Amino acid sequence: MSVLVGRKAPDFDVAAVVNGAEFVDSIKLSDFKGKYVVLFFYPLDFTFVCPTELHAFQEKLQEFHDRNVELIGCSVDSTFSHYAWLHTPRTLGGIKGISYTLLSDLKKTVSADYDVLLEGEGIALRGLFLIDKEGVVQHQVVNHLALGRNIDEVLRLVDALQFSEEFGEVCPANWNKGDKTMAPTQEGLREFFEET
């Protein structure tokens, strides 16, 4: 498994469905320079854990937008499969109501470039990549197929990254927005433990 943290995120140029209904022939990561991007992979449309995650991301979509974050989902399905799933009600396992971009990685190049392609299965693991405004990966996590993600944790990591960028301090374990941070020095660490 490749570690992409600290490296430029691999660019892509694939078809997608945007705004829940619009087919687009070309979406590139470089289209989002100047914004933060949360790029997440899921195995397949019309499966089981996947719709719970996609709906959970949608429920927090405004919170991502408030942080200047573009949310992008990706699977190896076609845009036609995405479209059909986007028009299937939640009660039938669909994702009707999802409005963020869903990439179609039909040729499996994006999954391979991000090293989340499950060889032999032809599907992606549940990879998630937090990419900064310059296109550099700042966080990555990869779950196996049965393990759904915690969307609040993704938001917490966005907050930590943005805080660190703005103030130059670092965010300790279990940090949440508004909690104490520290200078990235021995003195900063000492002061942090003295005050907590």
Cα dihedral 62, 139, 164, 102, rounded to 10, equals: -20
Helix (H, G, I), strand (E, B) or coil at 128: strand
All residues at 6 or more sequence positions from 173 whose CB lies less than 8 Å from its CB, including other chains: none
Tokens of residue 99, six digits: 């409005």
Q: Is 50 a catalytic residue?
A: yes
Helix (H, G, I), strand (E, B) or coil at 194: helix
Q: DSSP letter string over 30-97?
A: GGGTTSEEEEEE-S-TT-SHHHHHHHHHHHTHHHHHHTTEEEEEEESS-HHHHHHHHTS-GGGT--TT
CA angle in degrees (0–180, nearest 5) for 131-136-138:
60
Distance CA 182, CA 174 (A): 13
Inter-residue contact 6 to 137 (CB < 8 Å): yes
Which of 4, 50, 124, 182 is catalytic? The answer is 50
Give the catalytic positions in this structure.
50
